[in-house]
Protein backbone atom coordinates (compact mmCIF):
# COMPACT_ATOMS: atom_id res chain seq x y z
CA UNK A 1 0.00 0.00 0.00
CA UNK A 2 1.33 3.42 -0.94
CA UNK A 3 0.56 6.15 1.58
CA UNK A 4 1.24 9.72 0.52
CA UNK A 5 2.42 12.02 3.30
CA UNK A 6 3.30 15.62 4.01
CA UNK A 7 4.68 17.41 7.06
CA UNK A 8 4.65 21.05 7.96
CA UNK A 9 7.52 22.09 10.20
CA UNK A 10 9.03 25.10 11.87
CA UNK A 11 12.00 25.96 9.64
CA UNK A 12 14.37 24.64 7.00
CA UNK A 13 17.24 23.99 9.38
CA UNK A 14 18.54 21.07 11.40
CA UNK A 15 16.50 22.48 14.30
CA UNK A 16 13.23 21.87 12.45
CA UNK A 17 10.30 20.68 14.55
CA UNK A 18 7.14 19.08 13.25
CA UNK A 19 3.99 21.20 13.26
CA UNK A 20 1.54 18.86 11.54
CA UNK A 21 1.46 15.53 9.70
CA UNK A 22 -0.97 14.41 6.99
CA UNK A 23 -1.25 11.02 5.27
CA UNK A 24 -3.59 9.74 2.55
CA UNK A 25 -3.55 6.12 1.42
CA UNK A 26 -4.20 4.94 -2.12
CA UNK A 27 -7.66 3.79 -1.01
CA UNK A 28 -8.46 7.26 0.36
CA UNK A 29 -8.02 6.56 4.10
CA UNK A 30 -6.66 9.65 5.89
CA UNK A 31 -4.67 10.48 9.02
CA UNK A 32 -3.96 13.98 10.32
CA UNK A 33 -2.51 15.37 13.53
CA UNK A 34 -1.13 18.66 14.80
CA UNK A 35 1.73 18.41 17.27
CA UNK A 36 1.16 19.71 20.78
CA UNK A 37 2.85 21.78 21.99
CA UNK A 38 3.73 23.65 18.77
CA UNK A 39 7.31 24.73 18.09
CA UNK A 40 8.42 27.77 20.09
CA UNK A 41 10.21 29.28 17.09
CA UNK A 42 9.04 29.34 13.46
CA UNK A 43 10.28 31.03 10.31
CA UNK A 44 8.42 34.04 8.94
CA UNK A 45 7.13 31.95 6.03
CA UNK A 46 5.68 29.35 8.39
CA UNK A 47 4.13 32.03 10.58
CA UNK A 48 2.40 33.56 7.54
CA UNK A 49 1.39 30.49 5.53
CA UNK A 50 1.24 27.46 7.83
CA UNK A 51 0.17 28.45 11.33
CA UNK A 52 -3.05 30.19 10.22
CA UNK A 53 -4.22 26.88 8.67
CA UNK A 54 -3.98 24.85 11.87
CA UNK A 55 -7.30 23.54 13.17
CA UNK A 56 -6.56 22.49 16.75
CA UNK A 57 -9.26 20.72 18.73
CA UNK A 58 -9.39 16.97 18.15
CA UNK A 59 -6.44 17.09 15.78
CA UNK A 60 -4.00 18.01 18.56
CA UNK A 61 -1.57 15.20 19.36
CA UNK A 62 0.93 15.20 22.22
CA UNK A 63 4.36 14.71 20.72
CA UNK A 64 5.05 11.60 22.77
CA UNK A 65 1.85 9.94 21.41
CA UNK A 66 2.51 10.50 17.72
CA UNK A 67 4.41 7.25 17.10
CA UNK A 68 1.74 5.07 18.75
CA UNK A 69 -1.11 6.85 16.96
CA UNK A 70 0.56 6.53 13.57
CA UNK A 71 1.35 2.86 14.15
CA UNK A 72 -2.24 2.17 15.21
CA UNK A 73 -3.58 3.81 12.04
CA UNK A 74 -1.15 1.87 9.83
CA UNK A 75 -2.37 -1.48 11.20
CA UNK A 76 -5.38 -1.40 8.86
CA UNK A 77 -3.10 -1.87 5.82
CA UNK A 78 -1.46 -5.05 4.62
CA UNK A 79 2.32 -5.12 4.20
CA UNK A 80 4.31 -3.96 2.39
CA UNK A 81 3.60 -0.33 3.27
CA UNK A 82 5.38 2.57 1.62
CA UNK A 83 5.27 6.15 2.84
CA UNK A 84 5.65 8.40 -0.20
CA UNK A 85 6.88 12.00 0.05
CA UNK A 86 8.20 14.58 -2.39
CA UNK A 87 10.80 16.20 -0.11
CA UNK A 88 13.78 14.83 1.81
CA UNK A 89 12.88 17.28 4.58
CA UNK A 90 9.77 15.20 5.25
CA UNK A 91 11.96 12.21 6.09
CA UNK A 92 14.23 14.33 8.27
CA UNK A 93 11.39 15.80 10.34
CA UNK A 94 9.36 12.57 10.44
CA UNK A 95 12.27 10.63 11.86
CA UNK A 96 12.76 13.31 14.52
CA UNK A 97 9.05 13.27 15.35
CA UNK A 98 9.26 9.50 15.86
CA UNK A 99 12.14 9.90 18.28
CA UNK A 100 14.94 8.93 15.92
CA UNK A 101 17.88 10.77 14.41
CA UNK A 102 17.21 13.23 11.61
CA UNK A 103 18.12 11.73 8.22
CA UNK A 104 17.08 12.83 4.75
CA UNK A 105 17.56 9.57 2.87
CA UNK A 106 14.79 7.06 2.14
CA UNK A 107 14.94 3.84 4.09
CA UNK A 108 12.88 1.78 6.52
CA UNK A 109 11.13 3.08 9.62
CA UNK A 110 10.84 0.58 12.51
CA UNK A 111 7.06 0.86 12.78
CA UNK A 112 4.93 -2.24 13.28
CA UNK A 113 6.09 -5.82 12.81
CA UNK A 114 7.72 -5.38 9.40
CA UNK A 115 8.47 -1.66 9.30
CA UNK A 116 7.46 0.77 6.59
CA UNK A 117 9.56 1.87 3.63
CA UNK A 118 10.18 5.54 2.93
CA UNK A 119 10.00 6.44 -0.76
CA UNK A 120 10.90 9.75 -2.37
CA UNK A 121 9.26 10.90 -5.59
CA UNK A 122 9.94 13.79 -7.94
CA UNK A 123 7.56 15.29 -10.49
CA UNK A 124 7.95 13.76 -13.96
CA UNK A 125 8.87 15.84 -16.99
CA UNK A 126 7.29 16.31 -20.41
CA UNK A 127 3.68 15.34 -21.05
CA UNK A 128 3.48 13.31 -17.85
CA UNK A 129 4.77 16.33 -15.96
CA UNK A 130 1.91 18.42 -17.36
CA UNK A 131 -0.59 15.77 -16.27
CA UNK A 132 0.99 15.65 -12.81
CA UNK A 133 0.95 19.42 -12.30
CA UNK A 134 -2.60 19.82 -13.63
CA UNK A 135 -3.89 17.17 -11.21
CA UNK A 136 -2.03 18.77 -8.31
CA UNK A 137 -3.32 22.27 -9.07
CA UNK A 138 -6.89 21.00 -9.41
CA UNK A 139 -6.65 19.78 -5.82
CA UNK A 140 -5.73 23.27 -4.63
CA UNK A 141 -8.58 24.75 -6.67
CA UNK A 142 -10.96 22.49 -4.74
CA UNK A 143 -9.26 23.21 -1.41
CA UNK A 144 -6.92 26.24 -1.52
CA UNK A 145 -5.28 25.52 1.85
CA UNK A 146 -1.85 24.85 0.37
CA UNK A 147 0.71 24.22 3.16
CA UNK A 148 -1.89 22.37 5.23
CA UNK A 149 -0.29 18.94 5.68
CA UNK A 150 -3.39 16.90 4.88
CA UNK A 151 -4.35 19.03 1.86
CA UNK A 152 -0.81 18.76 0.50
CA UNK A 153 -0.83 14.98 1.03
CA UNK A 154 -4.10 14.74 -0.90
CA UNK A 155 -2.59 16.76 -3.74
CA UNK A 156 0.48 14.49 -3.84
CA UNK A 157 -1.71 11.39 -3.96
CA UNK A 158 -3.88 12.79 -6.74
CA UNK A 159 -0.89 13.87 -8.81
CA UNK A 160 0.96 10.57 -8.42
CA UNK A 161 -2.10 8.45 -9.19
CA UNK A 162 -2.94 10.58 -12.23
CA UNK A 163 0.48 9.85 -13.67
CA UNK A 164 0.18 6.15 -12.85
CA UNK A 165 -3.22 5.97 -14.58
CA UNK A 166 -1.90 7.84 -17.63
CA UNK A 167 1.14 5.59 -17.90
CA UNK A 168 -0.98 2.44 -17.54
CA UNK A 169 -3.33 3.67 -20.27
CA UNK A 170 -0.35 4.42 -22.50
CA UNK A 171 1.09 0.92 -22.04
CA UNK A 172 -2.25 -0.73 -22.78
CA UNK A 173 -2.73 1.48 -25.84
CA UNK A 174 0.73 0.60 -27.15
CA UNK A 175 0.05 -3.11 -26.68
CA UNK A 176 -3.23 -2.84 -28.58
CA UNK A 177 -1.54 -0.89 -31.37
CA UNK A 178 1.13 -3.56 -31.70
CA UNK A 179 -1.47 -6.31 -31.88
CA UNK A 180 -3.47 -4.44 -34.50
CA UNK A 181 -0.42 -3.83 -36.70
CA UNK A 182 1.14 -7.28 -36.25
CA UNK A 183 1.25 -9.34 -39.48
CA UNK A 184 -1.39 -12.03 -39.78
CA UNK A 185 0.13 -15.43 -40.45
CA UNK A 186 -3.27 -17.15 -40.59
CA UNK A 187 -6.17 -15.83 -42.67
CA UNK A 188 -9.42 -14.94 -40.90
CA UNK A 189 -11.42 -17.85 -42.41
CA UNK A 190 -8.85 -20.25 -41.00
CA UNK A 191 -9.16 -18.61 -37.56
CA UNK A 192 -12.95 -19.01 -37.81
CA UNK A 193 -12.65 -22.69 -38.71
CA UNK A 194 -10.27 -23.29 -35.80
CA UNK A 195 -12.59 -21.51 -33.40
CA UNK A 196 -15.58 -23.55 -34.56
CA UNK A 197 -13.76 -26.92 -34.49
CA UNK A 198 -15.30 -29.36 -32.03
CA UNK A 199 -13.56 -32.61 -32.94
CA UNK A 200 -10.75 -34.54 -31.26
CA UNK A 201 -7.50 -32.80 -30.55
CA UNK A 202 -4.46 -34.35 -32.25
CA UNK A 203 -1.22 -34.34 -30.33
CA UNK A 204 1.48 -32.08 -31.72
CA UNK A 205 4.05 -34.77 -31.02
CA UNK A 206 4.82 -36.61 -34.34
CA UNK A 207 5.60 -39.71 -32.29
CA UNK A 208 2.17 -39.65 -30.65
CA UNK A 209 -0.47 -38.74 -33.27
CA UNK A 210 -3.29 -40.37 -31.28
CA UNK A 211 -6.44 -38.25 -30.97
CA UNK A 212 -6.82 -36.86 -27.44
CA UNK A 213 -10.57 -36.38 -27.30
Using an 8 Å Cβ cutoff, are 4 and 153 in contact? yes
> What total of structural domains would you count in the chain?
1
**What are phi and psi for residue 142, nearest 5 degrees?**
-75, -35
Q: Are 70 and 81 in contact (CB under 8 A)?
A: no
Residue 175 lies in a domain: no
The answer to whether residue 193 is domain-embedded is no
pLDDT in tens, 117-152: 999 898 888 888 899 999 999 999 999 999 999 999
Q: Is residue 112 within 8 Å of 71, Cβ to Cβ?
A: yes
* DSSP codes of every residue in 65-123: GHHHHHHHHHTTSPSP-EEEES-HHHHHHHHHHTTS----S--EE--TTT-EEEEE---
Quote the domain boundaries for residue 32.
2-165
The verdict on residue 53 lying in a domain is yes
Query: Tell me, what DSSP letter sits at residue 184?
Result: P
| Mean pLDDT of the region 174-198 | 56
Which pLDDT band, with edges at 50, 70 and 90, does 104 fall under?
Answer: confident
pLDDT at position 201 is 52
Q: What is the CATH number of the domain that holds 89?
A: 3.30.420.10
Smallest CA-to-CA distance from 86 within 118, 47, 126 is with 118
pTM recorded for the entire structure: 0.76
Classify residue 155: in a domain, yes or no.
yes
C-beta separation of 40 from 11 below 8 A: no
Q: Does residue 132 sit within a domain?
A: yes
pLDDT at 113: 75
pLDDT at 101: 81
Largest CA distance in the chain: 86
Closest of 108, 118, 33, 116 to residue 69, by C-alpha: 33
Please work out, in degrees rounded to the nearest 5, the angle formed at the alpha carbon of residue 169 by the alpha carbons of 78 and 82: 25
Distance CA 120, CA 4 (A): 10
Give residue 11's pLDDT. Answer: 97
pLDDT digits (tens, 9 = 90+) for 18-76: 999 999 999 999 999 999 999 999 999 999 999 999 999 999 999 999 999 999 999 99
Q: Is the CB of residue 60 less than 8 Å from the CB of residue 32? A: no
Q: In what order do the strands lie in the sheet with 18-25?
A: 60-62, 30-36, 18-25, 2-9, 82-85, 116-120, 108-109
Kindly report the number of other CB atoms within 10 A of residue 175's CB atom. Answer: 10
Tell me if 17 is assigned to some domain. Answer: yes
Q: Is residue 199, in this structure, part of any structural domain at all?
A: no
Q: How far, in Å, CA of 199 to CA of 95, rounded? A: 67
- Does the residue 92 lie in any domain? yes
Amino acid sequence: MNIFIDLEFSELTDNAEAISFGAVAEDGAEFYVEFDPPPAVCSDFVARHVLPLLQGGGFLCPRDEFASRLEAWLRQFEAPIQLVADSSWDWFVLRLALGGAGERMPGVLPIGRTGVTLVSVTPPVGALGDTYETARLQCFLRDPRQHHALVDARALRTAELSVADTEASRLVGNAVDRLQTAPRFIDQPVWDDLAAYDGPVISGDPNDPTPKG
